[in-house]
Amino acid sequence: MESNGWEDPRSLGSTSTRGPGGAPGGGEPAVDGDRGAGSVEHCPLHLSSCHECLELENSTIESVRFASAENIPDLPYDYSGGLEGLDDDLRPERDERRVNVTGKAPNILLYVGSDSRDGLDRLQQVRSALADCVDTDCYTLYHLPPESALRDPWADNCLLLVIATAEPVPEDLCRRFTAYLSQGGKLLALAASFTLPGFRVTSKTPLRDTVQTLVFCKADGSPVRLSVLSSGCVYEEGPGEPLGPGKLRGHLDSEDGDRLLVQVPFGTHGGEAVLCQVHLELPPSSPAVQTQEDFNLLKSSNFKRYEVLMEILTTLGLSCDAKPAPALTPLYLLSATEEIRDPLMQWLGKHVDPEGVITSSKLSLKFISSYTSEIEITPSAIPVVTDMESFSSENFNFEIYQQNLQTRKLGKVILFAEVTPTTMSLLDGLMFEMPQEMGLIAIAVRQTQGKGRGKNAWLSPLGCALSTLLVCIPLRSPLGQRIPFVQHLMSLAVVEAVRTIPGYQDINLRVKWPNDIYYSDLMKLGGVLVNSTLMRETFYILIGCGFNVTNSNPTICINDLITEYNKEHGAELQPLRADYLIARTATVLEKLIDTFQDQGPNGILPLYYKYWVHSAQQVRLGSAEGPKVWIVGLDDSGFLLVHQENGDVVTVHPDGNSFDMLRNLIVPKQR
């Protein structure tokens, strides 16, 4: 076995490992005086040899892993073997989340055929799709090259084998895969030529790389209809008899009803396979997707694609439970300009209590010069580091933010967190006291308790631009008399922040009344939440905003739109960053507010209508049986105007109704 930079296993001291025949280390008998007492010699191991050697291999991996954990990459290994010789104080602790009822190591092995460029691309696509479905802290995904599939004893350390290649699988490999199933293994074939008795794969060239409608039947019998990318093959009856029909199945929604997905029980030890001839592993942005129409159809079904994939994985014995929330991190107090730093720290010194704490009704912020891991962080008590020199983040480039923030007030003082419950609460204790010219904004990479309108939750995956901005509006001003317009201005600012970048003006990003950011009129990729408080003559408004920048899931992101635009137009627009767009959005918002205060609604409505999705849209008011109306615009207060069949024009309030875009309804929002 190659050392790969591992430390000498003999560092385990008195631990010994017995090989075949009782000789230490599995080699020749030890000779007294050859080595120090208790030392062990580990001879080369042949992975395809006898059972005793395989046990020794597992034991050696466990021992070396414990001896030098920091230098050892993750390997497929068997938790059940090789620890008997260790003293209790040397026995490595097991990660209980990685142990499963089968007793096997939590390994998912990915076979993608030859190591060609296409094969490596498939490997990345399959790995990415599965990693979005299962907790990668509980399962490990490994590439299974053809030579390893033939040579190595992987079957005993494999919870799931995934075959994702249209290349013919060699007969000797087919026998190994079938033997794995007969021993109780689980297998998923994705657009693969591999099949089992009772079925054969038949080519239907007109279906190849086309978008089709799949009707998928879940284990409980409920159907799921979704758009999928077909491999160009279907399953037909073949030689041999399957053990029996499985509960999962899927067919084309067509006259032929071709079978595209079958579940096949195998053998007498619980073996099971799901064979699939649709590309569940490919994202809608894949080069295999040929047209904009196909991209739109697949993106609209992307959530269902994951629903189907997780149903399959769950049926095959894996857990697709939600991943645990990431640990909370401290806040950092940053200032976008040097001239504001000293006044900020002076103000802070006058307003914290003797313990350095500012307390509000929602949480307490404890301001500290530096952070150590001993300092506790809870949703209601968060430390704030004031030393800017110690700040660094892989996900937020502060220099990019500074360079692109071109405001007089907005966004000048930043509370930044890698992970926080919600940015909407972070400014609560500061917003009424801090001077308005300091322009507070809270920015996070992840939220664990993101908020939407009403009782809605807001998903906050990595890659989403998340912020809450404080805006102060005089009551006796054009915008102060029309506060509902604030959410429209923020939605418009996000769209303008992207579409005013040179070359990006045709990226199909739009606004949807009352508070959403959309791709065309098809999919939501962002939203706005506004909380306002009137104190004396000023509205203190917290504008929460989240929009997808780099995260393609669970719906779509801005960089997906850029990728599709480049593909369609042969362009080379670069992907965008969250820090860059948050700064640009604050800059655009300040300009829109200034325009509104100078010119009123008419100053911004032409731009708003340019980007909104509702022109001449027909909807029904209240329910599917409600009166038919046509959307005509916004009224003077920012509420939606609709034209009824009898000629009347009525106003619909944003906080009482919400669009169901799929059915063209206006339905009451739960409060």
* Helix 292-300 × helix 558-569 angle, to 10°: 160
Same domain for 308 and 359, yes or no, is no
> pTM higher than 0.85, yes or no?
no
Quick check: 97 pLDDT over 90? no
Structure tokens at 377: 């962080």
Query: Are residues 542 and 578 both part of a single domain?
Result: yes
Task: Say whether pLDDT at 185 is over 90.
Answer: yes
In this structure, what token pair is assigned to residue 148? 């390893």
Residue 596 lies in a domain: yes
Look up tokens 């309030």; give the residue.
653
Q: What number is the average pLDDT over the span 292-320?
A: 94
Instruction: Evaluate if residue 513 carries a pLDDT over 50.
Output: yes
Where residue 433 falls among pLDDT bands split at 50, 70, 90? confident
- Give me the mean pLDDT over the 71-93 stretch: 33
Any idea what the CATH number is for the domain that residue 534 is in?
3.30.930.10
At what angle are helices 485-499 and 578-599 packed, to 10 degrees?
130
457 with 528, same domain: the answer is yes
Is 235 part of any domain? yes
Q: How far apart are CA 332 and CA 388, in angstroms?
A: 7
- Sheet with 618-621, strands from edge to edge, namely 649-652, 640-644, 628-634, 618-621, 665-668, 657-660
Q: Is 268 exposed, middle or buried (0-12, 13-18, 19+ CB in 10 A)?
A: exposed
Considering the domain architecture, whether residues 538 and 417 belong to the same structural domain is answered as yes
Within-domain flag for 627: yes
How many angstroms separate the CA atoms of 405 and 219, rounded? 52
How is the chain split among helix, strand and coil, in percent rounded to 5? 30, 25, 45
Q: Tell which of 281, 315, 349 closes a domain.
A: 315
**Residue 100: inside a domain, yes or no?**
no
- Whether the CB-CB separation of 635 and 651 falls below 8 Å is answered with yes
Length of the chain: 671
Q: Tell me how many domains the chain contains.
A: 4
**Residues 225, 362 within the same domain:** no
Please state, in angstroms and rounded to a whole number, the distance separating the CA atoms of residues 464 and 547: 6
Q: Is the backbone of residue 25 left (phi > 0), alpha (psi -120 to 50) or beta? A: left
188 and 208 together in one domain: yes
With respect to residue 148, please indicate whether it lies within any of the assigned structural domains.
yes
Q: Is the model's pLDDT at 38 over the cut of 70? A: no
Neighbour order of strands in the sheet with 523-535: 357-359, 364-368, 381-385, 331-335, 413-420, 440-447, 464-474, 538-548, 523-535, 516-519, 509-512
628: its two tokens: 């038919």
Q: Could you tell me the pLDDT band of residue 458, with boundaries at 50, 70 and 90?
A: low
Residue 81 has, within 13 A of its CA and on its CB side, a CA count of 20
Q: Tell me, what's the pLDDT at 625?
A: 76
Q: Check whether residue 340 and residue 299 sit in a common domain.
A: no
Confirm if 277 and 268 have CB atoms less than 8 A apart. Answer: no
Phi/psi of residue 147, nearest 5 degrees: -65, -35
Give the dihedral sign, CA 596/602/603/607.
Answer: positive
Q: pLDDT digit string (tens) for 144-159?
A: 999 999 988 899 889 9
Nearest alpha carbon to residue 396 among 371, 378, 423, 373: 423
User: What's the average model confidence in pLDDT over 52-73?
Assistant: 34
218 and 353 part of one domain:
no
Average pLDDT value for residue range 133-142? 83
The H helix count followed by the E strand count for the chain is 13, 28
**What pLDDT does residue 454 have?**
53
Would you say residue 250 lies in a domain?
yes
Asked whether 276 and 190 are in contact (CB, 8 A), the reply is: yes
Q: Which domain holds residue 634?
A: 618-668
In order, the DSSP letters of 346-367 are: HHHHHHS-TTSEEE-SS-EEEE
Q: Are residues 585 and 649 in the same domain?
A: no
Residues 24 and 17: their CA atoms lie apart, in Å, by: 6
pLDDT tens across 578-610, in order?
999 999 999 999 999 999 999 999 999 999 999
**Of 60, 94, 128, the domain-final residue:** 94
Three-state secondary structure call for residue 7: coil
Give CA torsion, residues 78, 84, 89, 95, to 10 deg. Answer: 20
In a domain, 629, yes or no: yes
Q: Are residues 19 and 158 in the same domain?
A: no
Q: H or E element: which one contains 402?
A: helix 398-404
How far out from the chain centre does Cα 393 lie?
Answer: 19
Q: What is the mean pLDDT of the chain?
A: 81
Share of the chain above pLDDT 70, in %: 79
Helix crossing, 292-300 with 302-315: angle to 10°?
A: 50
| 526 three-class SS | strand
Mapped onto helix, strand or coil, the DSSP state of residue 547 is: strand
Rounded CA separation 237/257 (Å): 14
Tens of pLDDT, residue by residue over 330-381, are: 999 999 999 999 999 999 999 999 999 999 888 999 999 999 999 999 999 9
Burial of 5 (0-12, 13-18, 19+ CB in 10 A): exposed
Tell me if 523 sits within 8 A of 517, measured CB to CB: no
Here the tokens at position 163 are: 């075959």
What pLDDT, on the 0 to 100 scale, is given for residue 238? 80
Residue among 151, 149, 154 nearest 174 (CA): 149
| DSSP-assigned states of every residue in 417-460 | EEEES-HHHHTTTTTTTS-GGG-EEEEEEEESS-B-STT-B---
For residues 417 and 510, membership in a common domain is answered with yes
Residues 462 and 577 sit within 8 Å (Cβ to Cβ) = no
**3-state SS, residue 651:** strand
Is position 123 within any domain?
A: yes
Cα gap 494→556, rounded to integer Å:
15
459 closest CA partner among 520, 546, 394: 546
- Least Cα distance to 431 among 398, 468, 485, 466 occurs for 468
Give CA–CA dist 79/66, Å, rounded. 13
191-226 pLDDT per residue, tens: 999 999 889 999 999 999 999 999 999 999 999 999
CA distance linking residue 418 with residue 395, whole number of Å: 8
Task: Kindly tell me if the per-residue pLDDT of 465 is higher than 70.
Answer: yes
CATH of the domain at 113: 3.40.50.880
Q: Does residue 520 have a pLDDT over 50? A: yes
**What is the arithmetic mean of pLDDT over 450-472?**
76
Mark which of 39, 63, 94 sits at the end of a domain. Answer: 94
* R_g of the chain computed on alpha carbons: 30
CA distance 524 to 512: 9
3-state secondary structure of 656: coil
Nearest residue to 135 (alpha-carbon basis) of 383, 374, 395, 320: 320
Q: Give CA 11 to chain center in angstroms.
A: 41
Task: Say yes or no: 635 and 607 in one domain.
Answer: no
**Residues 228-262: tens digit of each pLDDT:** 999 999 999 887 776 677 899 999 999 889 999 99
